[in-house]
Amino acid sequence: MSRYMVLRRVFILGPSHHVPLSRCALSPAEVYRTPLYDLRIDQKVYADLWKTGMFERMTLQTDEEEHSIEMQLPYIAKAMESHKDDFAIVPILVGALSESKEQDYGKLLSKYLADPSNLFVISSDFCHWGQRFRYTYYDDAQGEIYSSIEHLDKMGMSIIEQLEPISFSNYLKKYRNTICGRHPIGVLLNAVEELKKNGIDMNCSFLNYAQSSQCRNWQDSSVSYAAGALIVH
């Protein structure tokens, strides 16, 4: 039986865009509505996470205003449509975590990542380039601005594929790439690091990359997007 066929939970880790958080937060809702059908939040897992004392409870307004988790819901609902009564979701809003907190949350979530009945979805864009984003890194050795952005992004993607959280942290410190989901990615990489200590084999590869537009001058702006998959063997 494939991993897809036994899925019971989909964890969704998304960055907080609107509310400053230094920790992670759980939703006050029990159900998320989508155009297809309602997605149940796994209250048993939520209760277990809440007992750790590591989580805040976001307000309903914060939950409704944040798009990082919401935008994943229709895709999950569509992919799981034939099993809609057999699974629940675990949405987690991730704040601006320190490296040590990324490690703590990674350790906490590692047991869930190791469970083949769970799927993790990490919500993130990649580079937000342009004056409106206050980020205009440009390596002219790469040619056009959009080529420099792609080189920067793919450098980060390659580092993520190595599954080494320290390398990813060092990349962010050096280039300050405006990857909005850098903290959820950091949590995942630390969860992977914890599992690697127990001899669990994993590999990560990026499947697609795109930019919203091709920047050629300093007045342009773009947002990059990448899709990758982590397989736990």
Nearest to 29 by CA among 67, 57, 66: 57
Q: Which residues contact 164 (CB under 8 A, 6 or more apart)?
A: 189, 193
- Mean pLDDT throughout 164-175? 97
SS (H, E, C) 46-62: HHHHHHCCCEEECCHHH
Nearest to 173 by CA among 163, 159, 187: 159
- For the ranges 9-23, 39-53, 153-167, 204-218, which has the lowest average pLDDT? 9-23
To the question of pTM greater than 0.75 for the whole model, the response is yes
Domain boundaries along the sequence of the chain: 1-123, 125-233
> Angle, to 10 degrees, between the axis of helix 165-175 and the axis of helix 182-197?
150
Sign of CA dihedral 73, 79, 81, 83: negative
Q: Which residues contact 59 (CB under 8 A, 6 or more apart)?
A: 28
Confidence of residue 1 (pLDDT cuts 50, 70, 90): very low
Phi, psi (degrees; rounded to nearest 5) at 157: -65, -40
CATH fold label, 1-123: Protocatechuate 4,5-dioxygenase; Chain B (3.40.830)
Q: What is the pLDDT of residues 105-123, one digit of tens each?
A: 999 999 999 999 999 999 9
Is the model's pLDDT at 56 over the cut of 60? Answer: yes
Is the model's pLDDT at 3 over the cut of 70? Answer: no
Residue type, 4: Y
Asked if residue 171 lies in contact with residue 177, where contact means CB atoms within 8 angstroms, the answer is: yes
Q: In what side-by-side order are the strands of the sheet with 24-26?
A: 55-57, 24-26, 88-94, 9-15, 118-122
Residue 90 and residue 120: Cα distance in Å, rounded?
9
Helix (H) or strand (E) segment spanning residue 129? strand 128-129
Residue type, 133: F
Is the model's pLDDT at 134 over the cut of 50? Answer: yes
Q: What is the pLDDT of residues 186-198, one digit of tens each?
A: 999 999 999 999 8
The pLDDT mean for the chain works out to 94
Is the model's pLDDT at 5 over the cut of 70? Answer: no
Q: What is the pLDDT of residues 138-148, one digit of tens each?
A: 999 999 999 99
Q: Does the 125-233 domain belong in CATH 3.40.50.10420?
A: no
C-alpha distances in Å from residue 192, one per residue of 72, 178, 185, 217, 223: 22, 23, 11, 39, 27
